[in-house]
Amino acid sequence: MKSLRFKPMVENLHGVGTHWQCAVLVMIQALVIICIHTALV
């Protein structure tokens, strides 16, 4: 029963971790695009 209780917590933490990674990737892509635009201008 304990494992069943902890499983949702682990899945929730994993979801937050993947969401954080996606946010970081989006931020990096945005910075790269900004750098390219400033370089072209």
Rounded CA-CA distance 9/15 in Å is 10
Provide the pLDDT for residue 4.
62
Rounded CA-CA distance 32/7 in Å is 38
> Does residue 3 sit in helix, strand or coil?
helix
- Assessment of whether the complete model's pTM goes beyond 0.75: no
Number of domains in the chain: 1
pLDDT tens readout for residues 16-32: 777 788 889 999 999 99
pLDDT tops 70 at residue 33: yes
Which residue range(s) make up the domain with 3? Answer: 1-41
pLDDT tops 70 at residue 41: yes
The percentage of the chain sitting over the pLDDT mark of 90, rounded to a whole number, equals 34
Rounded CA-CA distance 28/13 in Å is 23
